[in-house]
Amino acid sequence: AWTGEIRGRVVCDVCADSAIGPEDHVLEGAEVAVLCITKSGEVINYQAFTNSKGIYSVAETMPESDRWESCLARPISSFHHHCTRRGDAHSGVKFTYNKLSGNSHNVKTFLYKPVNVPLYC
C-alpha cells in the first residue's frame, strides 16, 4: 500500500501586506478543499479544517497503482470574526504529487485579510 499526505497552514494577514509577520496569527477552523487525480484517473475530493495551530492535513492509504498524481488545494472559507477576505490573488495551488509513500507534500500558506486593516499597520 501507498500512503500520501498533504498539509498546509492558513494565516490571517492582519496588515494585508502579503507577508507573514509578528502581527499575523493562524486561523483555526478555516476550511480547505483538496482535489486529487489518481494514476487510474479517479478524482477524489477532500475537505479539511485547520487545527489550533492553523494547520490542515489530508492523508490517504491506497494501492500504489491508484496513488495521487496531481492535486489542487484551495481555501474555501474562514470563520474568523474579522479575517474573512482571501488574501491571495490565486485562490488555489496546483501541484504534482511525486512523494514516496509516507511523505508529506507541504502546500504554501493560504492568507486571509481583515475587512478593515488596523490603524497600526
Q: Is 121 part of a structural domain of the chain?
A: no
Count of structural domains, the chain: 1
Q: Is 97 part of a structural domain of the chain?
A: yes
pLDDT tens profile 80-94:
888 999 887 667 999
Domain that holds residue 29: 2-113
The tens place of each residue's pLDDT in the chain, 121 residues long, gives 999 999 999 999 999 999 999 999 999 999 999 999 999 999 999 999 999 999 999 999 999 999 999 999 999 999 888 899 988 766 799 999 999 999 999 999 999 999 899 999 9
Q: Is 118 part of a structural domain of the chain?
A: no
| pTM given for the model | 0.90
Q: Is 51 part of a structural domain of the chain?
A: yes
Q: What is the distance between the alpha carbons of residues 15 and 121, in angstroms, rounded to a whole number? A: 5
Burial of 100 (0-12, 13-18, 19+ CB in 10 A): exposed
User: Tell me, what CATH number does 70's domain have?
Assistant: 2.60.40.10
CB 43 within 8 A of CB 66: no
Q: Is 40 part of a structural domain of the chain?
A: yes
Q: Is 120 part of a structural domain of the chain?
A: no
